[in-house]
A and B are shown apart, each in its own frame.
Chain A
Amino acid sequence: MNSKILIITTLILITLAGGFLRFYKITENPPSLNGDEISMGYDAYSILQTGRDQFGKFMPLTFRSVGDYKNPIPIYLMTVSIKLFGLNDFSIRLQNAFIGTLMIPFFFLFLIKVIRDKLIALLGASFLSISSWHIYYSRVEYETLIASLFVLLGVWFFMKMFDGSRVWTLLSAFFLILTMYTAPAPRLFVPIFILIALIFNFRKFKTNLDKLITFILTCTILVLPLIYATLFLGAGTRLTMVLISNDIEFQRYVLLKYFDSLNEAPLLLFFWLKRYIGYIQPEVLFFNGLNMTIPGSLGLGILYLFELPWLVLGIAEFIKRKIPYKAIFVIWLLTGIVPDSITNNQQHAGRLLHILPVVIFIISLGAIQFFKWIHNISKIYVRLAVLGSYAIFIMVILTHAFLTFAVHFPRAKGESYDEGLKEAALYVRDHQDEYKEIIFDPRRGIEGPYLVSNPYLYVLFYTKYDPHTYQTEPKVTSGDKTYFLKFNKYTFRNIDWLKDGNRKDVLFIGSPWSFPENGLKEGELLKKIYMTNGHPAYYIVSPR
């Protein structure tokens, strides 16, 4: 009884610590809501107010966004936090922070029930609680984090359904398919995982044929709307855009041309295998996998450097030891890498979140072996020296992690989080009545006008623009690829100061590149908005 209370108390403390790391200053770091967060947030607000998305579609299965389609579950879930806390940065980021924190006790329960080892379960929960990988994506609205919880539940219940009642079969099918409505990566991962897991466990199913049929039927019924949306509603748009055959490195460097022939498929196959194996690169694992700092510098990997020996020992222990459902863990890990490996970008830690539980579990195994090895050192002063040195090493790495999150990340990545747009939108909200038109230039960039943002979403969000009005009012867009959008008194287009510089009662917002260097008259520059790294993000100007 006492040990149970101790375990529960420890788990509560671990969860609270994890919660603190996820919630603390969540609206300030990352420094701004990025375009995806804003888009999902406004769609959720629109659904809450009108039952329709920003484009007027009633309760859609897929949400049209800029250039792709968003998954429904995170947006529908977001309506709860917006209802409770209003439309603001906190309500957008709340759900990931909450789900990220909730995952800690769920992971503990998973390990206790499946592995039946309290120490591994507690260690696993602790490592998850402080995992930089998990913390980073808990502090941003990122769909795959929500999906990772569903994957954990889905796989856990999949393991239980062999020995338990039919409820687990239904729950497993439900959570696994729900994952496919939550994030893009699981749409490939889940079917492959189910197929291979069923093949490897076919003997178990032979004696439980009714469960197999129930599982397959439930999955099929639940996935039908998604198949329909993918084939007919454009939800498959993203896949065609991001396939590895469109990868720039593959086309420009390997093939030296576009991929347009099946004869080149063998090269594509080996290119894919190279990408697949590339996930065990030390840069991804320990040095820069989270991409939180400027390229070429030492940042944070998906694991901490002090977890390196634990990972190695954990793999050895995983191979040697008899572990329940070992095959399912292996299938989970190996198939989990497939979705990100077939995309046309470099490794993206966010798209691998659904394998995080397996990785943390392996590290927990390794940590136990590591500390057993230290414990077995006969000479006590050697034991203390090793333990002490390792503790110092851990503190140094965690300190670097803290500085990366608190200092370097906001400075290095403010631009990619569209930092400055919030302040600009808030200025619009507070001063729009003073002007007859507001023109916002979407181009931005520290090095030059090389990036294009979507400021209209920030204006909609921070002015709490009425969704019904936005859905129904006329909008003007360009007929070609030029960025142009006009509704109400807002126009989103490139600023041409030669023509625009004489327009009175108009508010212009653009990056410094949008305005002549020394061509603004006194009093025209109303405000400069800076990013955390000190570079100017936007100028707010009105001609006099």
Chain B
Amino acid sequence: MSFIKAFTDLYLPSQSDEFIEKINTIVKTKFYKKNDIIINLREVPSKFYILKEGIVRSFVIDSKGKEHIKTLYKSISLFAPLSSLITKKSSTFIFDCITDCEVLEGNFYDFITLTKSDLEFSNFYTKALENVYISSENKIHNLSVLNATERYLKLKKEIPQIENMIPLYHVASYLNITAVQLSRIRKKLYSKS
């Protein structure tokens, strides 16, 4: 329960005990192994997830069969195929585990039903959406303003061990550059020391 409190505190500190208790009743703990798929393509999703331990990635596969990583999630974060949950269409992203993971899984539509009658839940949802907005803004900023080296350094700051966890061609994909370009960037950065 204290983990749920730590999570809700990230968005809206000092929620009532009843609120924490209600969230506790709509989520359940699940364990996944490295490489397990949590949400697959063409599934119509219904769940949201709170990541307690491990690293999860979301990615798309383009028309040429190439994987592009969209987001990397580490503890404590909320992840979900939000656009599919909102539009009730099948997921265009795949979410899988880069490491063994522990998550709290909840039904999104049960949560939305609660937002319609409970102001505390409605406010919490609004705050979560505001946070999603801010991280999306940051993403657009990184992709449209920063160059590849700057994006690489930012990634290393957020997840220092990333190169030990996923192959370099995946890191390149996340940065939207080729493996060759990434190799050049790393060579330049690490030959200075």
Q: Do A and B come from one complex?
A: no
Give A residues with C-beta under 8 Å from B.
Answer: none
